[in-house]
Amino acid sequence: MRRGPKPAKSKEAKRPVARKSAKDDGARVVDLEKRLAAALEREADAQARETATAEILRVIASSPNDVQPVFDTIAENAQRLLRGWGALVVRFDGELLHVAGLRAGPGASEEPIRERFPQPVSQDTLNGVVVCDRAVKQIADVETDDDWISLREHARRQGWRANLGVPMLHDGQPIGAITVTRREPGAFSAHEVDLLKTFADQAVIAIENVRLFNETKEALEQQTATAEILRVISQSPTDVQPVFDAIVRSASRLCGGEYAIVTRYDGQLLHLAAQYNPRPGTADETARFFPQAPRREALTPRAFVDAHLVHAPDVDAEDVESSTREFYRRIGLRAVLAVPMIHEGRPIGVVSVSRGSRGPFSDRQINLLQTFADQAVIAIENVRLFTELQARTQELTRSVGQLTALGEVGRAVSSTLELDAILQTIVSRANQLAGRRLVLRVRV
């Protein structure tokens, strides 16, 4: 079998593989080093964020009744991890913004910042806009952003160019904000925004944790106080004074006051029945105001006259007689809450608490003081009914003794006609009823 001719070999020679130059290898190494450094930096940032969030959660767990350490930790970590010049945590009470946590730039004083608070919510501040809009806001460069011209002078004085703010929201409502400033202009990155939002969420958790802890503690204290007063009532069926003393102690401690009193009405005048924790040297001065006639020109008597609570967050703003206003100024009390003691629709006294700082009493404190006033009424009625029962029991005992004595005399008369025996029986029973010895003298 014949084979065909072999195919001719290609005249084109095989090209040699090009070798990379040392310069290309060096660039590749540099690129790898950069990528490795970036990965290590991301890893370090992630580790730092995890460490910071874990630290904040640890502080939350170790401070169940105090949110301040949490705010301080958040401000410190926000300033450090976002490479900020300063960090500020503010709380919103519904009207004003208050400083909660603050870290100023190196060598800068915190006082100028603190002096600006409390402040109303304003569109001229980043905090105000964040709270009003309930949204993240940032200024990449205050010198070039014409929307923030109002902040330029302040920023120049403080020495920052960029600012980032995130809201603290609870159930969709703003309760504060966190802001971080930088000296260098430039927008904050997405992961920096997310980190600050995480801190804001942790701040809300801390606030709620403290609120729930305090509410539980307060509820337990209230239950303990009311139970204690009921116990005193049961142990003092004939004396209401220990009950009044227990009420003013509990009212002063649990109703947001410093000083507490109980007054009673005798049908004409109000009398001071108990007082607790008066300012030094003021107990006698307070006592000199009593007894006093009920009148609307003074706060505690006004609660009696109106048969309705009197809530005076600022005594100076109340329509009272000048002597009353001067008295409260002199003894250093600025806010008053007075609740009448009502029995069958009629006031019979007043329970009142006062404190040295202006401001309203909470609904919880008002309700608790009302409970104490109701317990005072129970104590007064308990003593009255017990005293009446004792009197009726004694009267009934005397009546039974008299009937028994008459019965014995009757039996003596029917059993004998001897006058001496009948008279002796009468004298014996008379001695028992009279509680003293009678002498029988009979003349024949």
Residue 2 has pLDDT above 50, yes or no: no
| Residues 321 and 367 both lie in one domain | yes
Residue 1 has pLDDT above 50, yes or no: no
Mean pLDDT for the chain? 82
Residue 417 has pLDDT above 60, yes or no: no
Q: Give tens-digit pLDDT for 248-297.
A: 999 988 887 889 999 999 999 999 999 998 888 788 888 888 898 999 88
- The β-bridge partners of 120 are 96
How many CB atoms within 10 Å of residue 406?
Answer: 12
Give the amino acid at 424. Q
Strand 310-312, strand 270-276: pairing:
unpaired
Last residue within a domain, chosen from 171, 189, 212: 212
| Residues 208 and 281 both lie in one domain | no
Q: 402 lies in which domain range?
A: 390-434
Q: Give tens-digit pLDDT for 68-104.
A: 999 999 999 999 999 899 999 999 999 999 999 999 8
Residue 3 has pLDDT above 70, yes or no: no
* Tokens, residue 76: 């410190």
Domain count, the chain: 3
| Residues 77 and 140 both lie in one domain | yes
**Within a domain: residue 33?**
no
Residue 443 has pLDDT above 50, yes or no: no
- The length of the chain, given as a count of residues: 444
Cα–chain center distance at 178: 23
| Residues 68 and 164 both lie in one domain | yes
How far, in Å, CA of 378 to CA of 308, rounded?
A: 18
Cis peptide before 291 (omega within 30 of 0): yes
Residue 442 has pLDDT above 50, yes or no: no
- State phi, psi for 339 to the nearest 5 degrees: -125, 130
Residue 438 has pLDDT above 80, yes or no: no
pLDDT of residue 9: 53
How far, in Å, CA of 254 to CA of 225, rounded?
A: 9
**Within a domain: residue 322?**
yes
pLDDT of residue 412: 58
**Within a domain: residue 17?**
no
Name residues whose C-beta falls within 8 Å of residue 332's C-beta, 6 or more positions apart in sequence.
279, 356
CATH number at residue 227: 3.30.450.40
Q: By 3-state DSSP, what share of the chain in percent is helix, strand and coil, each rounded to 5?
A: 55, 15, 30
Chain position carrying tokens 């040699």: 16
**Within a domain: residue 18?**
no
Q: Give tens-digit pLDDT for 314-354.
A: 998 888 888 888 888 888 889 999 999 999 999 999 999 99
Residue 429 has pLDDT above 60, yes or no: yes
| Residues 234 and 340 both lie in one domain | yes
Last residue within a domain, chosen from 386, 407, 423: 386
**Within a domain: residue 14?**
no
Q: Give tens-digit pLDDT for 20-73.
A: 566 666 666 666 667 666 665 555 566 666 777 788 888 888 888 889 999 999
Supply angle C-alpha 220, 224, 208, rounded to 5.
Answer: 15
Handedness of CA 60, 61, 63, 66 (dihedral sign): positive
**Within a domain: residue 9?**
no
Residue 444 has pLDDT above 50, yes or no: no
How far, in Å, CA of 232 to CA of 120, rounded?
A: 48
| Residues 58 and 102 both lie in one domain | yes
pLDDT of residue 13: 54
8-17, 158-167, 373-382, 426-435: segment of lowest average pLDDT: 8-17
**Within a domain: residue 8?**
no
Which H helix or E strand runs over 87? strand 86-92
| Residues 83 and 197 both lie in one domain | yes
* Tokens, residue 54: 């874990």
pLDDT of residue 397: 63
How far, in Å, CA of 92 to CA of 88, rounded?
A: 13
What percentage of the chain reaches a pLDDT higher than 70? Answer: 76
Report how far apart, in Å, the C-alpha atoms of 91 and of each of 38, 153, 428 are. Answer: 37, 24, 86
| Residues 62 and 203 both lie in one domain | yes
Q: Give tens-digit pLDDT for 402-414.
A: 556 566 656 655 6
Residue 204 has pLDDT above 90, yes or no: yes
pLDDT of residue 137: 95
**Within a domain: residue 30?**
no
Which H helix or E strand runs over 249? helix 241-254
Mean pLDDT of 216-226: 83
| Residues 64 and 195 both lie in one domain | yes
Cβ atoms of 337 and 353 within 8 Å: the answer is yes
| Residues 141 and 154 both lie in one domain | yes
| Residues 234 and 382 both lie in one domain | yes
| Residues 44 and 152 both lie in one domain | yes
How far, in Å, CA of 306 to CA of 66, rounded?
A: 40
